[in-house]
Amino acid sequence: QSALTQPPSASGSPGQSVTIPCTGTSSDVGSYNYVSWYQQHPGKAPKLLIYEVTKRPSGVPDRFSGSKSGNTASLIVSGLQAEDEAAYYCSSYAGKNVVLFGGGTTLTVL
Amino acid sequence: EVQLVESGGNLVQPGGSLRLSCAVSGFSVTGNYMYWVRQAPGKGLEWVSVMYGGGTTDYADSVKGRFTISRDGSKNTLNLQMNSLRTEDTAVYYCARGHNWGRGITHGMDVWGQGTTATVSS
């Protein structure tokens, strides 16, 4: 049960786009379209942003989108806004009831 | 209103036990799949345990054999019994509802509590 790999940090200027990758293996990200993404502001609980690789729950702005290629999933944040500054986590189903999280990426809006 | 409220976190010595509870409102704990997820200080999220609507349970390798997830339908609560605690179990523990968008479960988590802190230290 190894964690998925995310870069520790990412940054962009307001209005720009940023992509956060999440790398797993052929046993998790590569095998299932059950990748989710979460946003967590300091001291707060995580919030679901993306499920099943590309789908957004109601209320999540369409500035947030997801994709997957092979063993790597990505979160794309377009039109960066100051309030997007937060930690972002990916997760993937890994079979046998196991869910793996990434180590998290702190996004800084410059 | 859909809400999860955790309680039970405390300071405990290594080898000790804690029982966490999650009070569920706005939906049935027995009709949904539920998770416990933890976050060590300054660290990322870690899946701990899951209980599916039918009662099937599972655990991360790091807690298997020491933690037990359960639910009480009459009180609409989710619980986590934590035994043989280690210093590395120190974390904020969140309960979360498994996401289901009508076409099946997604293994994501769409409703989270505010968390309760368990500190294991001598």
Residues in B touching A40 (Cβ below 8 Å): 45
Which candidate, A21, A47, A45, A25, places its Cα nearest to that of A93?
Answer: A25
Percent with pLDDT over 90 in chain A: 98
Query: Is A52 within 8 Å of chain B by CB?
Result: yes
Average pLDDT, chain A: 97
Q: Are A28 and A93 in contact (CB under 8 A)?
A: yes
Residue B90 neighbours by CB distance under 10 Å: 17
Query: Is A56 within 8 Å of chain B by CB?
Result: no
Nearest CA in chain A to B52: A97
Q: State residue B102's pLDDT score.
A: 81
Which residue shows structure tokens 């059950």? A34
* A59-99 tens-digit pLDDT: 999 999 999 999 999 999 999 999 999 999 999 999 999 99
Maximum distance among all Cα pairs of chain A, rounded to whole angstroms: 41
- Best of A48, A88, A93 to substitute, by most chain B Cβ atoms within 10 angstroms, is A48
Query: Is B33 within 8 Å of chain A by CB?
Result: no
Residues in A touching B52 (Cβ below 8 Å): 97
Q: State residue B90's pLDDT score.
A: 98
Q: Is the pLDDT of residue B32 over 90?
A: yes
CA-based nearest distance A92→chain B, Å: 8
What would the DSSP string read from start to end of B81-114?
Answer: EE-S--GGG-EEEEEEEEEE-SS-EEEEEEEE--
The C-alpha angle B58, B62, B66, rounded to 5 degrees, equals 70
Question: Average pLDDT in the A39-63 region?
Answer: 97
Of B37, B47, B110, the CB nearest to A48: B110
Q: Is the pLDDT of residue A2 over 90?
A: no
Which candidate, B44, B46, B19, places its Cα nearest to that of B35?
Answer: B46
In whole angstroms, give the CA distance from residue A53 to residue A75. Answer: 9
